[in-house]
């Protein structure tokens, strides 16, 4: 069992926070299909951004399965503590600190994974946030700033000493971004070095891969990122396999259509028609890739401007895909 403070997660499989991906509609879907935790998109600690439309949308947690986890990002201990207090007041039940993002626009501000180069500042931020709130605080990191400077074990020990309740580790350094393959030896050393639960993260795209990573690292759970895009059921498949040894088949074409139709409807309602139609395009692209619909289908969908047209074309495309599979099977 994976426990974060008072919160006992139903499964040890978490959905990673991903900017522009893990909004409320997607989190709700992944939780419904078996994720034990779904962390919201990162929110900047700068108070001047709190009233922006982007931040307000990222701060919404209505009708979400609990516990509600909010990720904050920044490089100033006092500002991070204030951001934690602010988000707890809005309903956050877990505060997650981002020290794993490799994006240049984040690292240029000496935030995200750039912080791993300054262990003293890491300690100051962690202590400030943990002291500021009465909910559990978790941390997401990478293995270090670059391959020749993997200090993940040191950071993990600082995190444990600072009162961090759980740790997620992506098996790449900041310099690696998402290139090459994730390495799990450092995650194994981290899991052995601390008593707090650790999620292994990076290149986990199947139940079998998740089981291999858990066996290799000794981590308490796994965190799924990009592989869940277009496959909100993947976290549940992984949980079934590692907890019960069941290899749950992927949804049928008809089931995928039902999930996607529901997802699109929630995106349109959540963002409004104009913004919802635009955001739906990237999600449909991921579903199309996972379902093998091809680039022509994506181009056709991306030209649409109305929610009703998007839903109609999706039904048509999936119907064609289902007929093609039936013909091949005959």
Q: What is the residue-wise DSSP string for 70-122?
A: EEEE-S-HHHHHHHHHHHHHTT-SEEEEEE----HHHHTTT-GGGGGG-HHHH
Helix spans in the chain (H): 24-32, 53-58, 77-89, 104-107, 119-132, 152-162, 185-193, 207-217, 234-244, 253-271, 273-291, 295-302, 307-329
Please count the CA atoms within 13 angstroms of the CA of 130 that sit on its side-chain side: 19
Contact criterion met (CB below 8 Å) for 272 and 266: no
223/203 Cα distance (integer angstroms)? 10
Q: What is the CA radius of gyration of the chain?
A: 20
Other beta carbons within 10 angstroms of residue 127's beta carbon come to 17
Long-range contacts, stretch 62-66, CB < 8 angstroms, 24+ apart: 62/24, 63/28, 64/24, 64/27, 64/28, 64/31, 65/28, 65/31, 65/32, 65/38, 66/7, 66/93
Contact criterion met (CB below 8 Å) for 172 and 116: no
What are the two backbone dihedrals, phi and then psi, of residue 84, each rounded to the nearest 5 degrees? -65, -45
Nearest CA-CA partner of 166 in 328, 330, 326, 6: 6
Q: What is the residue-wise DSSP string for 265-305?
A: HHHHHHH-HHHHHHHHHHHHHHHHHHHT--HHHHHHHHT--
Active site residues: 101
Residue length of the chain:
330
């Amino acid at each position: 069992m994976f426990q974060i403070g008072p919160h006992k997660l139903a499964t040890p499989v978490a959905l990673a926070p991903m900017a522009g991906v893990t909004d409320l509609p997607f989190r709700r879907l992944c939780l419904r299909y078996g994720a034990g935790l779904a962390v919201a998109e990162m929110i900047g600690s700068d108070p001047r951004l709190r009233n922006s439309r982007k931040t307000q949308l990222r701060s919404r947690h209505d009708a979400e399965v609990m516990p509600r986890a909010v990720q904050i990002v920044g490089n100033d201990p006092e500002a991070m503590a204030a951001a934690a207090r602010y988000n707890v007041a809005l309903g956050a039940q877990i505060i997650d600190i981002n020290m794993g993002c490799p994006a240049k626009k984040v690292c240029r501000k000496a935030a995200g994974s750039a912080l791993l180069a300054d262990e003293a500042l890491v300690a100051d931020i962690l202590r400030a946030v943990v002291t500021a709130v009465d909910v559990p605080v978790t941390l997401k990191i990478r293995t270090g700033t670059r391959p020749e400077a993997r200090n993940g074990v040191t950071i993990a020990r600082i995190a444990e000493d600072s009162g961090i309740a759980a740790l997620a580790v992506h098996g790449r350094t900041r310099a690696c971004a998402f290139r090459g393959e994730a390495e799990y030896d450092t995650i194994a050393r981290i899991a052995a070095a601390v008593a707090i639960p650790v999620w292994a993260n990076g290149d986990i795209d199947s139940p079998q891969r998740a089981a291999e990573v858990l066996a290799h690292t000794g981590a308490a759970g796994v965190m799924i990122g990009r592989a869940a895009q277009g496959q909100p059921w993947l976290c549940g498949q992984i949980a079934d396999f590692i907890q019960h040894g069941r290899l749950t088949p992927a949804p049928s074409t008809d089931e995928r259509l039902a999930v996607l139709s529901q997802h699109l409807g929630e995106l349109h309602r959540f963002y409004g028609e104009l913004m919802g139609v635009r955001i739906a395009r990237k999600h449909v692209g991921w579903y199309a890739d996972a379902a093998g619909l091809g680039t022509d289908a994506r181009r056709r969908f991306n030209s649409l401007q109305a929610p009703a047209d998007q839903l109609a074309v999706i039904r048509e495309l999936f119907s064609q895909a289902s007929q093609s599979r039936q013909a091949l099977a005959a």
